[in-house]
Structure 1
Amino acid sequence: MNRIKRLTSALSGRADDQLVQAVLHQVSTAREGAVLAKSMTAREIGRAKAHERMGAIEHEGDVRRGELVERLSYSITTPIDREDMFRLSRSVDDVLDTLRDFVREAHIYDITRMTRLLPLLDWLIEGLDNLGDAVRDIVDDPGRVVRSALDAKKQAGAICRAYQYEIAELFADDISAETFKRRELVRRLDIAGVRLSVAADALADGAMKRWH
């Protein structure tokens, strides 16, 4: 009976829609983590409270990831290549994991002056928004998928360039323990940008395979 339901769902296109929604839930959860990290960096929320909240967001991300992997395991059809879908999901999960590390390290390193990092978090949030737009168009508009994915990569590139300038700025002054703590934080955001770029590549690759 389950096989019949899966076949009916696949033929009706519902399976593709369900997988798209599962990825969107992941992207939304990662974005929630980025917004929390930004609020902490802007000192709108305390580091300890942000650390606590991030634990709940990460748990939600794990649940969303598990749901998608489960759907992939029994879906007859997928909106893009199965491996690309899995890579996309894993990379979005990596973005959230890296944000968790950013918040945790800001807490345990007791770093208070982080406002220079706000632009990097803004770019990350914007990049996740672009990634979400691309995911929504997987089924119906592959051209827009690629354009939105490229926009997400541009934001990831902006994070990488900002990271380089921040590192140069950090090591222009006398080196101290604080210097290395700050380097670890900005490195976390650079890694999040790299993971965002990988997610965008997976989505663009999948879209091109689907329609060519």
Structure 2
Amino acid sequence: MKFTFRPNDGAFYELFTRAADNHVRGTELLQELALPGVDVQSVSERLTEVEHDSDQLTHELYQKINSTFVTPFDREDIYRLGSLLDDVMDHLEAVGSLLYLYGLTKLPALPREMHELVEVLDQQAKLTAEAMPRLKSMKDLEDYWIECNRLENEGDRAYRMLLVRLFSGEYDALTVLKMKEVADELEAACDSFEHVANTVQTIAVKES
């Protein structure tokens, strides 16, 4: 039988869960950008509000780590997981901000592959939000990181096809540069979700 002297402090798990819930809010807002007649400025501003809330959650997490003598699992892993969750939200917010600032939603239509990437991100966000509460028990997490990694591969394929389309001559050079920056942020968000999943796997292995 395995014994542990580590507390099962629910505050850490609550902060992780709230951060992951913000990812779902973020991807849902990105999906709004595909709706006809959407107020792009409003969506971008709401994304920024969610990102600020995530920053505050990360700050609270770091304060909690620094004020807790014994943590539920390794401090380094808590820092890393909190930082990676924050990175995801930073990339999601950047996508919304760039789409608005560059005026890309005024195009007749955004590339299909860009919408596919947002859909992948939405699936990753929901998976992550469902997984975070299970950190407390460290049970039923394997399917999460396997599926999240599969989705990241799907996102990579959509990203590569998006690049092919951007450089096909369909768009003018300036629009290509703008959309390439958005595409890079979308791909970085997919990668960040995978990094979160990999860190959860590392924590689960250590604690098993």
TM-score category of the 2 structures, normalised to the smaller one:
0.7 to 0.9
1:125 corresponds to which residue?
122
Partner residue, 2:59: 66
1:194 maps to amino acid: D
Q: Say if 2:165 is the partner of 1:169.
A: yes
Structure 1 range deviating more: 132-141 or 119-128:
132-141
Is 1:110–2:103 an aligned residue pair?
Answer: yes
Q: Which runs of 4+ in 1 moved over 6 A?
A: none
Q: Is the 8 A contact 1:95 1:195 kept in 2?
A: yes
* 2:54 counterpart letter in structure 1: G
Once the two structures are superposed, what CA deviation does each residue of 1:103-147 show, in whole Å capped at 9, x if it has no partner?
Answer: 1111111112225222211211211221222222123243x2232
Q: Return 77-86 or 65-74, whichever deviates more.
A: 77-86
What is residue 192 of structure 2 aligned with on the other side? 195
1:57 to 50, 74, 78: 50
Give TM-score scaled by structure 2 length: 0.87
- TM normalised by structure 1 equals 0.86
Q: Deviations over 1:9-46 (max 9, x none)?
A: x65x3x1x221111000111122111111111334632
Confirm or deny that 1:31 pairs with 2:3.
no
Give the distance between the partners of 1:52 and 1:171, measured in 2 at CA. 30
Corresponding residue to 2:181 among 184, 201, 206: 184
1 CA distance for matches of 2:194 and 2:52?
23
Between stretches 148-157 and 59-68, larger displacement belongs to: 148-157
Aligned to 1:187, the other structure's residue is in SS state helix
Structure 1: where are the runs of 5+ without partners? 1-9
Over aligned residue pairs, what C-alpha RMSD do you find? Answer: 1.8
Identical pairs, percent? 20
Alignment gaps of 5+ in structure 2: 1-5
- Residues of 1 paired with 2:196 and 2:174: CA distance? 34
Q: CA deviation at 1:96?
A: 0.8
Q: How does 1:9-158 map to 2 (within 5 A)?
A: 11=7, 13=8, 15=9, 17-43=10-36, 45-112=38-105, 113-114=109-110, 116=112, 117-142=114-139, 144-158=140-154
Which protein is richer in helix relative to its size?
1
Number of residues of Structure 1 aligned to a counterpart in Structure 2: 198
Instruction: Say if 1:26 and 1:61, in contact at 8 Å, map to a contact too.
Output: yes
2:95–2:185 Cα contact (<8 Å) kept: yes
Q: Deviations for 1:36-95, whole angstroms, at most 9, x for unmatched residues? A: 111113346322111221221111111111111111222234333221221111111111
Q: Give the deviation of 1:166 after TM superposition.
A: 0.7
How far residue 99 of structure 1 moved from its aligned partner, in angstroms, is 1.2
Helix, strand or coil for the counterpart of 1:114?
coil
